[in-house]
């Protein structure tokens, strides 16, 4: 039986999209394998021995879960302050879309899930994809700047081992590279924040850039790019508004603060009894910066490496390779399960969300 032309075209388009994204998946799997092999070589176990997990305090785990749930709520709900100057979106929808989007970033290769949130929240005639993308970009820049500033301050306060180890686990990788990487990330986010402000207050610069780069090849493409740039700038309307920007910064501080306290509580429950809250902030900051690099699905490898590297600045090998392994495993496992559960619930309750996620990834 002959297939209708539209069915054949749809299958061809889907096949083309899958081939394009298959390359991302292949690269991410190679990265995951490389990270896993390196962790194994370094004697850094992904899954700790059963007796190490048996010594973990259950009340500490419960406390971490409670703090993580509060942290995830603020992480999701604060987006309303960036969207408010553009469109009115119910808080329930903002939180549901955020939980789905966070899980998409976690699971999809090479952070391909970043587009899911703006794609799901868009509303024809009210909230464009470009404007929603602008709010997400701004959130990423502000998060990065806040976290790296906190990390830079805490690196100055917390007392590391002296001298810093020239290895992480059994690998000859100097721990001194960690602060250098952190300060480089801080400089990058300062520049990004300045450029974001310039992009909003001087939108003509963005228009000229689009015209200069695309105009010589296609005037229509340049015009569409200029329109997209304008709409992205619409997503930055919160910047000059203390009514929106102030509460967003406050809830951002709560989000990161709860995250740090949760890590501190869990570390003590795993047996890292000497960890201070400032050191927990460093661990959180190094993790936040570390998972910016391309990694495998589930951020596997980069997540574990980042925490091990941060722990190695402050604790001897018997701690890093002992209770530290339980700590790294539980932080990863608890957050992974939470993301799957929250996204699964929201996909089941948000009408059409599952189809929209597929469209966002394959579109």
Residue 178's pLDDT is 93
pLDDT per residue over 261-315, tens digit each? 999 999 999 999 999 999 999 999 999 999 987 777 888 888 999 999 999 999 9
Among 238, 304, 107, which residue's Cα sits nearest to residue 99? Answer: 107
Residue 57's pLDDT is 97
Q: In 43-121, where does DSSP find H-type helix?
A: 50-54, 58-77, 79-83, 91-107, 116-121
Q: Per-residue pLDDT for 332 more than 70?
A: yes
Residue environment code for 106-125, b if the CB has 16+ CB neighbours within 10 A, otherwise e: bbbbbbbbbbbbbbbbbeee
Residue 111 pLDDT class (50, 70, 90 cuts):
confident
Residue 10's pLDDT is 45
Q: Largest alpha-carbon pair distance within the chain?
A: 75
pLDDT per residue over 335-346, tens digit each? 999 999 999 999
pLDDT per residue over 160-191, tens digit each? 999 999 989 888 889 999 999 999 999 999 98
């Amino acid at each position: 039986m002959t297939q209708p032309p539209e069915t054949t075209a749809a299958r061809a388009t889907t096949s083309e999209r899958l081939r394009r994204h298959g390359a991302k998946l292949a690269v991410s799997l190679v990265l995951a394998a490389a990270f896993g092999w390196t962790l194994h070589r370094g004697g850094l176990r992904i899954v700790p021995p059963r007796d190490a997990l048996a010594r973990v305090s259950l009340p500490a785990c419960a406390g971490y879960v409670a703090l993580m749930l509060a942290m995830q709520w603020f992480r999701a709900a604060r987006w309303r302050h960036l969207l408010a100057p553009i469109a009115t979106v119910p808080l329930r929808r903002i939180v549901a879309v955020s939980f789905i989007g966070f899980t998409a970033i976690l699971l999809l290769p090479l952070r391909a899930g970043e587009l899911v949130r703006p794609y799901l929240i868009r509303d024809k005639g009210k909230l464009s994809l470009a404007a929603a993308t602008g709010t997400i970009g701004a959130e990423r820049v502000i998060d990065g700047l806040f976290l790296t500033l906190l990390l830079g301050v805490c690196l100055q306060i917390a007392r590391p081992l002296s001298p810093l180890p020239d290895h992480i686990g059994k690998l000859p990788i100097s721990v001194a590279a960690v602060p250098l990487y952190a300060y480089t990330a801080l400089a990058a986010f300062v520049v990004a924040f300045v450029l974001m402000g310039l992009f909003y207050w001087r939108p003509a610069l963005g228009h000229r850039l689009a015209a200069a780069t695309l105009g010589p090849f296609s005037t229509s493409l340049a015009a569409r790019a200029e329109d997209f740039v304008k709409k992205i700038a619409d997503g930055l309307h919160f910047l000059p508004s203390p009514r929106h920007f102030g509460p967003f910064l406050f809830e951002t501080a709560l989000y990161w603060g709860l995250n740090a306290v949760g890590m501190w509580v869990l570390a003590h429950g795993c047996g890292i009894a000497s960890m201070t809250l400032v050191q927990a902030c460093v661990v959180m900051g190094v993790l936040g910066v570390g998972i910016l690099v391309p990694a495998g699905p589930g951020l596997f490898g980069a997540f574990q490496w980042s925490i091990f590297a941060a722990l190695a600045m402050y604790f001897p090998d018997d701690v890093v390779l002992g209770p530290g392994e339980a700590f790294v495993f539980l932080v990863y496992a608890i957050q992974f399960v939470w993301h799957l559960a929250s996204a699964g619930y929201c996909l089941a309750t948000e009408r059409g969300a599952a189809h929209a996620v597929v469209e966002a990834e394959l579109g």
